[in-house]
């Protein structure tokens, strides 16, 4: 069984550009989570999906961040007009239901560098 996969593994972009990060969860895991890991802030929870639904988007750092999930599987995290403070490792995790109560399996992350 494959684990959580994320792409790209590394992304270097220029300030002001949009980026799209992809997460492919473990098959059968209906819960999907996005986190951000940076030196200054540690590991921050961004958003979760139960199926295709994201009930609470308050963890997203700004309105430049958005996420969607289709078909209860792949999710994309989009950052518009990237800023240097967006530089971080973006981690995706998935788990079996119930949401939040089972161990989350993490992907290898996408390292985003905004120049």
Partner 1 sequence: AQKVTQAQTEISVVEKEDVTLDCVYETRDTTYYLFWYKQPPSGELVFLIRRNSFDEQNEISGRYSWNFQKSTSSFNFTITASQVVDSAVYFCALSGVPSGGGADGLTFGKGTHLIIQP
Residue 90 interacts with partner 1 (CB under 8 A): yes or no: no
Q: Nearest to residue 93, comparing CAs of 84, 101, 104?
A: 104
* CB 83, min distance to partner 1, A: 23
- 19 neighbors 56 (Cβ within 8 angstroms): no
Q: How far apart are CA 22 and CA 63, in angstroms?
A: 19
Can you read off the two tokens belonging to residue 17?
A: 């550009």
| Given 28, 55, 85, 113, the residue binding partner 1 (CB under 8 A) | 55
Work out whether 101 is an interface residue with partner 1 (CB under 8 A): yes
DSSP secondary structure letters along 81-98: S--GGG-EEEEEEEEPSS
Q: Smallest distance, Å, CB 89 to partner 1?
A: 7
Residues 6+ positions from 62 with CB-CB distance below 8 Å? none
Which of 45, 78, 81, 115 binds partner 1 (CB under 8 A)? It is 45
Contact pick of 14, 27, 56, 71 for partner 1 (by CB under 8 A): 56
The site for partner 1 (CB under 8 A) is made up of: 33, 35, 42-48, 55-56, 59, 89, 91, 93, 98-109
């Amino acid at each position: 069984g494959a684990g959580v996969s994320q792409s790209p593994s590394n992304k270097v972009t220029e300030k002001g550009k949009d980026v799209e990060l992809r997460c492919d969860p473990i098959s059968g895991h209906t819960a999907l989570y996005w986190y951000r890991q940076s030196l200054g802030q540690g590991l921050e929870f961004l958003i979760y999906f139960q199926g295709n639904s994201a009930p609470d988007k308050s963890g997203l750092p700004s309105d430049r961040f958005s996420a969607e999930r289709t078909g209860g599987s792949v999710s994309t995290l989009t950052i518009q007009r990237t800023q240097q403070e967006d530089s971080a490792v973006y981690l995706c995790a998935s788990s079996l239901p119930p949401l939040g109560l089972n161990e989350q399996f993490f992907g290898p992350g996408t390292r985003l560098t905004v120049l």
